Each structure stands twice: as structure tokens, then as C-alpha cells.
């Protein structure tokens, strides 16, 4: 239906048309009295009253009816649907939405200039009746200019925008273009996508489609051959066994291109000082790793960077065309080594703790510094500066040491308890022991006759097991458990793993500020063969130690495009209203204020609580707390997906956006526009009321001119 009405119930007002009809049919003209000196010469005429009246002035009558009709139409708010717009507007009128890719890959030599020329060419070819919008996109889309017929506005906007440091995502750009086209009433709708068609920017699972009838034009600024040399990632490995503690930096260098690279200098800088350097050669489309010399960990965070020297050569080229990914920034945080005290039974064999010690020794973040002690030789002072205590198949320490161990846990320490054949229930009956561990059954559960039981369930949402929540991350059900103690958990204990007979396999107990894990079997090959399944045993032991220690790894770097809450930086607690000075990598200063807001998207009033990560490099934060000055450095890097310059087939993207044409059903462009929005843009009611005013003015003038004539005729 072409013509629609927003408030059709106002048509009841057409009943008012009866008013001018009744006026014309019932109105009687009054005769004008003319005084005569004598009536002797006037003939007397009998007075006749006519029951029926005739409409004498049809023009006046029609004007009044038309005025009332237009008033009713104005209040009913008429508008035209999209289907009828081409009959009203010129067929050449277009709504053009230009989507300009300004992700980091567009800073590749020559791409941005080519894209700008393409935009200007489109603007110069517009017709006077066309309207154009400009939106830039990277990992998010931003509307720069909304639907304008003025090309000069677009030209001015192009002069102030440029490539960003963010990654490529096509879906936000398509989404903003859809909305702009939906809001347009022009008959022809067109999207111009100007991009390098970076493959990593398209997610095939995203169900984004263009409305039927939309013209999609792609302008490809990608070179036929794209080459890039980049530092893809950096791995920091701690060596806790050395004194002082050291770390080793390993970098992965990638050459994406069909030409080899020779004598490329790769440097490691710590605190703005080059400490090691390597020269590498890379073949076409290949990668290599570079390991630098060990460096000492400082008591304060260290700024580090791995860089490809700017003088590196790509064969046939004097420099790298995408230099933004030639440096990888990171922070070496102190205190990433946890001290573990391994307490053994007096009668234990030297190899009883071998597997757990080896599992902890290969951890890198954090690294574990393991010390051993016999339970009868344990002293209260041995618990100082310890992060995790492992009671491996031993009785609970007695006397003052046991009390100190309980205090250690309740004040924030962590204990991992493994119980085997050297444990007896009587050794865990003391009050301090019962505060940390549930009661043991009198007898051991023996499953040898069944060839062992299995770990039938474990909570993958718990921190100990969350690394096993993804497919092919490890299978606990392959291990056999021949003997184990039966635990009787108390109220408040959390059973996070269980055997196939329903007995608890791992129990977590909170103890004020500390944490305790109880494992009712051994950590060797005597009561189970879990140690033979290293793909689960090693990460399980490491995760258990991290959990009881309450360890959360500080971020060595962040990714450009994120906003970081002040309270999320290294678990710092900023008092409400703390003023923080932020210095960005570009040398710009920002003043932040800690607001203590809840996690989630920042609102306008809360944006000062977040560190905007827009550029790669180091962000310096300074604040004072009770007269003490503090400083924190945060490293940020580009999303390394932007370094992958492999190209998406433009036809593949077009097919994905236009697959399965959206018919004229509920998802058609016409039906997606709200009637209120369409009527508001057309605003016919205003013109109708103006016409009513004109008709009423004409009616007034005409009626005034007709009144004397009617009066004279009656006379």
C-alpha cells in the first residue's frame, strides 16, 4: 500500500463536513429595509416561505469542505511507504554510504592515500540529488558524516582522519551501513566498501546480510604482492633456580612475503638499553624464533622491547612497509616466583615427592622455588616468606608448628594436602588439623580388585580445572586410582572432583584469608597412575599450587583497542577519588580519577576510571597515596592479527553479505522502518496545514465579496 496514515482514527472528523452543508441549507439572507415616504405606489406581494433551500455559492461551499478535509488529513499524519517513493523522487537519487577502512593494516605504504583518492572520486561523481555518508571502521565503526548532499563536508573530514592502530572487523561497518540505509527514503541505496580486504577481519560465522536491493561496491586497495616483517610474539620464561632470579626472552619473527630477508637485526632492549642483538635470515613466508641472553629480574618492573632494526632489508625494498609491528613491548614484573615448602613424612622415601617437585620445576609463570623439609624437623621460622606449603603424605605438624601452620593459612597462605599410606587418621585429629582438613575415614578404600577406580567428575569452572575445559586439553578419566582415603567434608567445604563411587577426590576448604586443597591419595605411582599421564598431572599440580597461593599473573602487556580499569592493573586498589596522571606513548597527558565503579562498559561519567589503550608503547601512571608517590608502567601492543596481510577474496565477502536474498517480508527494507520515523521525515501535515490556511483566507475574501451582491439581489 503506497499511502498510509499514522493516526487514521482522525478520519472520524470528516463528519464535520456536515457543518458547511447545514450552514448553506439553513442560512436565510436578511432583507435590507429601505424607508419610503409613502406606500401608495408599492404593490403588496404575498409572502411565501420556501421549505427547501438551494446552495447558491458552490465555490464557497467547496472551499470550506476542502479546508475541513485537509485539517482531518493533517491530523491523521499521512506518509508514503518506500515502495511508492520512486514515483515521487527522481530515479537517480541515491543514498550512498562510504565505509572507509582505517585499521592499522591501511597504514601499509600507499594504501591510505589510494583509499582517500577513491573517496574523493566517489564524492566528485555524486549527483545533486544524492546524499552521502562517511563511516570509518577498524574493530569498531564510527560515523564521521551522516547523510549529506554537500561533498565539501566529506572532503573536510578526509583531511583530519587517518589510519588507526586498531584491528580490522567488517561486521561493525556493515551494521552501521544497514542502519543508515534503513533510515533513508531515497530509492537507490548503495554501499561503497574501501578496504584492503584483510582476511583476518571477516568472521564467517557472523550472520550479517544486506537488505534486498542494496548495491555493494568494493574498492580494493591491496597490492598484488604484500610483504611484511614483524615481531609476532614474545615469550618470557623465568629461571627461578638462579640467584638472582633471571628471565629469558624468546621472540618469534615472521616474514610474510615471497622474498627472503637477509641480515635482519633483532634487538632486545631493557629499560631503553640494548642488552642483546641477533642477525637473522628468513626465507619467503617463513618464521623463526630468537632467544636472547638471560637477564636479571629487578625488584621493580622492567620495561622491555624486542625490535626489528629499522635498517633491515627486504630484498628489493629499502624498508618495511608496515613498521608498526616491528616492535613488541612488554613488562617484566618482579615477584613472579612462588616459594613452595614441601613437607614430607619422617619415613618417606627420597623419591616420594619427585613427581610433584618436577611438575613445579617446569612452570614458568609463575616459577616455583621448591624447598624440602621433614615434618619432625619443621620449625615455625621455616614458614616465613613461604607462599605454598605442600603436606605430602605426612601427619599434621604438632605443637607450636601446627598452630603456626594454621595461622599461616588463616592469614592468607595456601596449603595443598596429599594423603597416602603414611598417613593415619590419628595424626589429623588435633584441633589445628581439623580446622584445615575434613575427617578421614577409618579405612582406606581399596579398588585393586576392580583394577582401580576413575575420576568420574570434576568442576571445570573451578580455577584448578578450568584449563581442562576446552576440547583435547586433557583427560582425567584415563588415570586409575587403586587406593584412597574416604573424606567426610564439613559444612562449607567444596567438593570439586569425585571418584566413580561417589567419594570426594579433591576438596577445597576456605580458611579465612587462605585456601586449602585436600587430595586423598598419593602424588606418586603407588596408589594411582596419574603421574604417568603428564598431560594432565603437570598442569593439575601447577594449577593447584597457583590456586592455594591465590596467584594471579600480572599482565606483561595489553592489546591496543582495550580500555583498562585502574583497579584491574596488577590488582591495585585505588581509593575512591584517587587522582592518577596518565602519560601516553605519544607524550599526551591525561588526568584519571578512580571511581570504584563496577566492572562493565564505562559510561560517560565513568570514563575517567579507565586507561584508553589506543597506541602501542608504554603508558606511565603516577599517583600519590598518603604522601607516598607511586608509579606504574603498562605496555601495549598492536593486535598481531593485523600483521597478517593475507587477502580475503572480495567475491567471498560479497557472497556472504548477499547470500539468501531478503525478500519483501518482515525483513525487507520498507518494513524495517518504523511508521513514526517515516512520517516524521516526510512531515506532510505541516504542508497540509499551510494549505488549509490558504483556503480559509480565500474563503474569507470570497465570502466578503459575495455578501454585498447577495444583499443587493434580495433588495
Q: Compute the average pLDDT of residues 570-582.
A: 73
Residue predicted with more confidence, 640 or 704: 640
How far CA 32 is from CA of 26, 56, 538, 713, in Å, comes to 19, 19, 118, 10
Written as nine digits, the cell of 444 is 582406606
Q: Residue 37 has what pLDDT?
A: 64
Average pLDDT estimate for 400-425: 93
pLDDT band at 679 (very low <50, low <70, confident <90, very high): low
Per-domain boundaries in the chain:
3-76+683-714, 89-224+648-676, 228-331, 337-549, 561-640
Banded pLDDT at 313 (limits 50, 70, 90): very low
243, with CB counted inside 10 A (0-12, 13-18, 19+), is exposed
The rounded distance, in Å, linking the Cα atoms of 335 and 245 is 10
Q: Which of 59-68, 420-429, 469-478, 506-515 has the lowest mean pLDDT?
A: 59-68
Please, what is the Cα angle at 314 between 311 and 320, to 5 degrees?
A: 60
Whether residue 708 has pLDDT greater than 70: no
Per-residue confidence band for 56, with pLDDT thresholds at 50, 70 and 90: low
* Mean local confidence (pLDDT), 602-622: 73
Where is pLDDT greater, at 225 or 103? 103
Residue 617 has pLDDT above 80, yes or no: yes
Mean pLDDT of the 555-573 span: 77
197 alpha carbon, distance to own chain's centre: 22
Q: In which band, very low, low, confident or very high, does the pLDDT at 102 lie, cut at 50, 70 and 90?
A: very high
Instruction: Provide the mean pLDDT of the chain.
Output: 82
Mean pLDDT, residues 423-440 taken together: 90
> For cell 521525515, what's the residue?
681
Give residue 486's pLDDT: 93
Domains 228-331 and 561-640 share a fold: yes
Rounded distance between C-alpha atoms, residue 134 and residue 123, angstroms:
10
Q: Of 131, 219, 121, 127, which Cα lies nearest the Cα of 181?
A: 131
Give the pLDDT confidence of 9-54 residue by residue, as tens digits: 777 767 766 776 676 666 655 556 666 666 566 666 655 554 445 6
656 confidence band (pLDDT: 50, 70, 90): confident
Evaluate whether 206 touches 171 at the Cβ level (below 8 Å): yes
Q: Which CATH architecture describes the domain 89-224+648-676?
A: 3-Layer(aba) Sandwich (3.40)
Q: pLDDT tier at 92 (50, 70, 90 boundaries)? A: low
Dihedral angle sign, alpha carbons of residues 429, 433, 439, 442: negative
Pairing mode of beta strands 228-239, 246-256:
antiparallel
Window from 61-65, 182-186, 615-619 with minimum mean pLDDT: 61-65
Residues pairing with 233 in the sheet? 252
What is the mean pLDDT of the segment spanning 526-546? 93
**3-class DSSP state of 379:** coil
| Mean pLDDT of the region 42-68 | 67
Q: What's the CA gap between 343 and 522, in Å, rounded?
A: 14
pTM of the prediction?
A: 0.65
Taking residues 685-710, what's their average pLDDT?
77
| Whether 629 contacts 622, CB under 8 Å | yes
**DSSP conformation letters of 282-309:** E-TTEEEEEEPPPEEPPSS-EEEEEEE-
Residues 640-652 as b/e (b if ≥16 CB within 10 A, e otherwise) read bbbbbbeebebee
Give domain 337-549's CATH architecture.
3-Layer(aba) Sandwich (3.40)
pLDDT above 50 (res 178): yes
Core vs surface per residue 382-402: b (16+ CB within 10 A) or e: bbeebbbbbbbbbbbbeeebb
pLDDT band for position 55 (50/70/90)?
low
What is the phi/psi pair of residue 702, to 5°?
-70, -40
How do 589-593 and 579-583 pair as beta strands? antiparallel
The per-residue DSSP string of 317-366 comes to: BSS-S-GGGSEEEEEE-S--EEEEEEEE-TT--TTTTHHHHHHHHT--TT
* Range of lowest pLDDT (59-73, 337-351, 539-553): 59-73
Q: Of the CATH numbers 1.20.120, 2.40.128, 1.10.1060, 2.60.40, which one belongs to the domain with range 561-640?
A: 2.60.40
Q: Which residues of 113-150 are buried (b: 16+ CB within 10 A; e: fewer)?
A: ebbbebbeebbeebeeebbbbbbbbbbebebbbebeee
Distance between CA 598 and CA 620 in Å, rounded?
24
Q: Which residue has the higher pLDDT, 442 or 340?
A: 340
SS3 393: coil
Q: What is the pLDDT of residues 208-246, one digit of tens each?
A: 677 777 888 899 998 888 888 999 999 998 876 677 788
pLDDT for 41: 61
pLDDT at 29 (0 to 100):
55
CATH number of the structural domain 228-331: 2.60.40.10
Amino acid at each position: 500500500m503506497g499511502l498510509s496514515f499514522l493516526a487514521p482514527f482522525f478520519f472520524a472528523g470528516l463528519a464535520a463536513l456536515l457543518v458547511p452543508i447545514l450552514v448553506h441549507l439553513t442560512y436565510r439572507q436578511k432583507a435590507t429595509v429601505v424607508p419610503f415616504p409613502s406606500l401608495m405606489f408599492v404593490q403588496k406581494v404575498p409572502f411565501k416561505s420556501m421549505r427547501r433551500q438551494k446552495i447558491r455559492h458552490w465555490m464557497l461551499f467547496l472551499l470550506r469542505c476542502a479546508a475541513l478535509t485537509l485539517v482531518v488529513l493533517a491530523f491523521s499524519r499521512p506518509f508514503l511507504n518506500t515502495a511508492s517513493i520512486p514515483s515521487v523522487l527522481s530515479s537517480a537519487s541515491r543514498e550512498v554510504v562510504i565505509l572507509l577502512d582505517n585499521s592499522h593494516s591501511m597504514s601499509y605504504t600507499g594504501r591510505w592515500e589510494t583509499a582517500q583518492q577513491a573517496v574523493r572520486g566517489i564524492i566528485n561523481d555524486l549527483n545533486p540529488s544524492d546524499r552521502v555518508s562517511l563511516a570509518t571502521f577498524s574493530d569498531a565503526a564510527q560515523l564521521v558524516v551522516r547523510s549529506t548532499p554537500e561533498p565539501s563536508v566529506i572532503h573536510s573530514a578526509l583531511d583530519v582522519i587517518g589510519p588507526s592502530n586498531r584491528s580490522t572487523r567488517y561486521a561493525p561497518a556493515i551494521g552501521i551501513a544497514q542502519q543508515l540505509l534503513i533510515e533513508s527514503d531515497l530509492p537507490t541505496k548503495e554501499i561503497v566498501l574501501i578496504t584492503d580486504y584483510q582476511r583476518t577481519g571477516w568472521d564467517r560465522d557472523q550472520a550479517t546480510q544486506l537488505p534486498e536491493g542494496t548495491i555493494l561496491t568494493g574498492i580494493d586497495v591491496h597490492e598484488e604482492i604484500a610483504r611484511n616483517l614483524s615481531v609476532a610474539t614474545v615469550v618470557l620464561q623465568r629461571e627461578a633456580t638462579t640467584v638472582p632470579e633471571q628471565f629469558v626472552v624468546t621472540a618469534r619473527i615472521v616474514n610474510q612475503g615471497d622474498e627472503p630477508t637477509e641480515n635482519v637485526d633483532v634487538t632486545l632492549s631493557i629499560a631503553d638499553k640494548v642488552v642483546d642483538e641477533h642477525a637473522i635470515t628468513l626465507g619467503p613466508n617463513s618464521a623463526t624464533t630468537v632467544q636472547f641472553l638471560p637477564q636479571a629480574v629487578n625488584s621493580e618492573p622492567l620495561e622491555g622491547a624486542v625490535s626489528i632494526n629499522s635498517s633491515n632489508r627486504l630484498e628489493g625494498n629499502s624498508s618495511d612497509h608496515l613498521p608498526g609491528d616491528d616492535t613488541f613491548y612488554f613488562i617484566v614484573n618482579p615477584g613472579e616466583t612462588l616459594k613452595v615448602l614441601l613437607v614430607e613424612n619422617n619415613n618417606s622415601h627420597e623419591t616420594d615427592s619427585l613427581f610433584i617437585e618436577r611438575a613445579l620445576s617446569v612452570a614458568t609463570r609463575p616459577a616455583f622455588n621448591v624447598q624440602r623439609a621433614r615434618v619432625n624437623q619443621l620449625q615455625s621460622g621455616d614458614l616465613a616468606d613461604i607462599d605454598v606449603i605442600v603436606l605430602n603424605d605426612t601427619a599434621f605438624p604438632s605443637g607450636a608448628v601446627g598452630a603456626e601452620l594454621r595461622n599461616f593459612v588463616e592469614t592468607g597462605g595456601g596449603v595443598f594436602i596429599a594423603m597416602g599410606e603414611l598417613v593415619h587418621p590419628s595424626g589429623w585429629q588435633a584441633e589445628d588439623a581439623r580446622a584445615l582438613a575434613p575427617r578421614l575415614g577409618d579405612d582406606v578404600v581399596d579398588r585393586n580388585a576392580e583394577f582401580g577406580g576413575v575420576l568420574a567428575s570434576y568442576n571445570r569452572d573451578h580455577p584448578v580445572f578450568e584449563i581442562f575445559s576446552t576440547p583435547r586439553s586433557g583427560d582425567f578419566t584415563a588415570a586409575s586410582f587403586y587406593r584412597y582415603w574416604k573424606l567426610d567434608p564439613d559444612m562449607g567445604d567444596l567438593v570439586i572432583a569425585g571418584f566413580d563411587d561417589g567419594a570426594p577426590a579433591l576438596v577445597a576448604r576456605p580458611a579465612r584469608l587462605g585456601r586449602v586443597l585436600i587430595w586423598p591419595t598419593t602424588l606418586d605411582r603407588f596408589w594411582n597412575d596419574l603421574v604417568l599421564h603428564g598431560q594432565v598431572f603437570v598442569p593439575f599440580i601447577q594449577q593447584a599450587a597457583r590456586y592455594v597461593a591465590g596467584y594471579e599473573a600480572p599482565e606483561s602487556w595489553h592489546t591496543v583497542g582495550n580500555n583498562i580499569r585502574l583497579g584491574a592493573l596488577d590488582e591495585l586498589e585505588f581509593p575512591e577519588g584517587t587522582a592518577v596522571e596518565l602519560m601516553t606513548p605519544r607524550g599526551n597527558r591525561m588526568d584519571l580519577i578512580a571511581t570504584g565503579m563496577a566492572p562493565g562498559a564505562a559510561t560517560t561519567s565513568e570514563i575517567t576510571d579507565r586507561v584508553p589503550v589506543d597506541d602501542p608503547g608504554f603508558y606511565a601512571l603516577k599517583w600519590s597515596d598518603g604522601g607516598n608517590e607511586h608509579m606504574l608502567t603498562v605496555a601495549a601492543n598492536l593486535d598481531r592479527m593485523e600483521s597478517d596481510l593475507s587477502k580475503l577474496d572480495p567475491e567471498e565477502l560479497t557472497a556472504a553479505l548477499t547470500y539468501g536474498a531478503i525478500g519483501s517480508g518482515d525483513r525487507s527494507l520498507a518494513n524495517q522502518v518504523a511508521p513514526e520515523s517515516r512520517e516524521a521525515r516526510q512531515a506532510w501535515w505541516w504542508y497540509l496545514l499551510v494549505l488549509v490556511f490558504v483556503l480559509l483566507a480565500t474563503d474569507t475574501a470570497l465570502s466578503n465579496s459575495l455578501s454585498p451582491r447577495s444583499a443587493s439581489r434580495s433588495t
